[in-house]
């Protein structure tokens, strides 16, 4: 007769963790992450507290370096075979999507100049002076990397799509800049990059496509590991209601044709590429979950901006402006981008944080 096991309880995890070293606490909590997440969700009525927040409840806290090392080790062996197979299949589809969309992605920010301008301004405001080292994780064709390299920053490009990196080389050559390295890798495994070696990490895309909380946390662990003490992270999210705004603008009858798709996005934030051919696998984050996620993952919050300011989805005329009128609209949108009342109606949000001690 097969032996059965009762599911682990939150109390059992905490009781055991109190007897462990700081590093072993991290390993324990992360290895039982799915069970703990379910327990937390049930206890908090679906709240967003991370399993990493439990470390505060179980005695002396590990140092930042110990947490980074233990998290990296725990995650490197965590996925079960079925989970790994599922992720590998999803990753392949996302990679193929961006391989096919590389040329289109290269000009996307030409159509959305406000988003580009606000992100550039946030980078200027928060980044240390050149020649700081930056890891651009999910660099795409390198639009931000080219601008930063042109200012004297040392930028390493990392992307899941080989086609994107090939295009980035061409863009860099045309612009007359050089990057420190081009690395074909997944944001969930940045072991090809040395730890505590970068002054800032850009994560301006990977979090769009990580469907589970566990994977989003894992990507943040990996990026955090790269940062020196006090290093900065710039992380972009697609917002929960952006698909609905886009549907209202482009295809309002989708509510009749695909009601289940919209219900799934609204309740879980998840979109699966098999649902329709318009976009690959994606996760649409609720604004209220971003700061708790980032702070539980080891960052101190500095800024949260609506990447398009107040003109998200209605930026076509503004994006055609030049001169003083353009400058005034950029200033206005950057000023209003911090207002929380704009966050739910933005297509993208940009989080800026600093690696906590």
pLDDT the model gives residue 69: 62
User: Which pTM value belongs to this model?
Assistant: 0.77
Separation between Cα atoms, residue 219 and residue 226, nearest integer Å? 11
Residues of the chain with CATH 3.40.50.150: 86-355
Superfamily of domain 86-355: Vaccinia Virus protein VP39 (3.40.50.150)
Q: Tens-digit pLDDT profile for the chain (357 aa)? A: 444 444 556 566 666 666 666 556 655 555 555 455 555 555 555 444 455 555 555 555 555 566 556 555 555 544 444 444 444 678 888 888 888 888 788 788 888 899 999 999 999 999 999 999 999 999 999 999 999 999 999 999 999 999 999 999 999 999 999 999 999 999 999 999 999 999 999 999 999 999 999 999 999 999 999 999 999 999 999 999 999 998 998 889 989 998 988 899 999 999 887 545 567 889 999 999 999 999 999 999 999 999 999 999 999 999 999 999 999 999 999 999 999 999 999 999 999 999 997
Check: CB of residue 105 under 8 Å from CB of residue 164. Answer: yes
Distance of CA 206 to the CA centre of its chain: 5
Q: What are phi and psi of 43, to 5 degrees?
A: -70, -35
pLDDT the model gives residue 95: 87
Partners of residue 158 on adjacent β-strands: 137, 183
Separation between Cα atoms, residue 86 and residue 357, nearest integer Å? 35
């Amino acid at each position: 007769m097969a032996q059965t096991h009762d599911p682990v309880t939150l109390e059992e995890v905490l009781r055991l963790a109190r007897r462990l070293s700081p590093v072993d606490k991290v390993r324990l909590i992360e290895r039982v992450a799915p069970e703990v997440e379910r327990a937390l969700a049930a206890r908090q009525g679906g709240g967003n507290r991370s399993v990493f927040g439990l470390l505060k409840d179980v005695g002396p806290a590990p140092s930042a370096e110990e947490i980074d090392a233990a998290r990296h080790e725990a995650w490197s062996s965590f996925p079960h075979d079925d989970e790994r197979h599922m992720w590998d299949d999803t990753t392949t589809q996302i990679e193929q999507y961006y391989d096919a969309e590389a040329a289109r992605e290269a000009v996307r920010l030409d159509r959305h100049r406000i988003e580009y301008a606000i992100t550039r301004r946030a980078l200027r405001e928060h980044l240390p002076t050149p020649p700081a080292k930056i890891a651009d994780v999910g660099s795409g064709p390198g639009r931000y990397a080219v601008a930063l390299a042109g200012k004297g920053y040392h930028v390493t490009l990392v992307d899941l799509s080989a086609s994107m990196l090939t295009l980035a080389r061409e863009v860099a050559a045309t612009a007359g800049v050089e990057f420190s390295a081009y690395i074909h890798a997944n944001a969930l495994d940045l072991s090809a990059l040395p730890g505590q070696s970068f002054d800032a990490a850009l994560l301006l895309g990977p979090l769009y496509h990580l469907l589970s909380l566990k994977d989003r946390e894992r990507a943040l662990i990996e990026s955090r590991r790269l940062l020196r003490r006090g290093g900065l992270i710039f992380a972009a999210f697609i917002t929960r209601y952006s698909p609905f705004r886009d549907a209202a603008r482009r295809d309002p009858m989708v509510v009749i044709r695909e009601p289940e798709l919209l219900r799934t996005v609204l309740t879980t934030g998840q979109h699966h590429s098999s649902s329709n051919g318009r976009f690959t696998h994606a996760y649409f984050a609720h604004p209220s979950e971003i700061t708790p996620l980032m702070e539980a993952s080891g960052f101190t919050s500095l800024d949260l901006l609506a990447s398009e300011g107040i003109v998200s989805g209605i930026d076509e005329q503004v994006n055609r402006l030049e001169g003083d009128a353009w400058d005034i609209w950029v200033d206005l949108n950057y000023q209003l981008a911090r207002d929380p009342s704009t966050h739910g109606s933005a297509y993208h949000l940009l989080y800026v944080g600093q690696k906590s001690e």
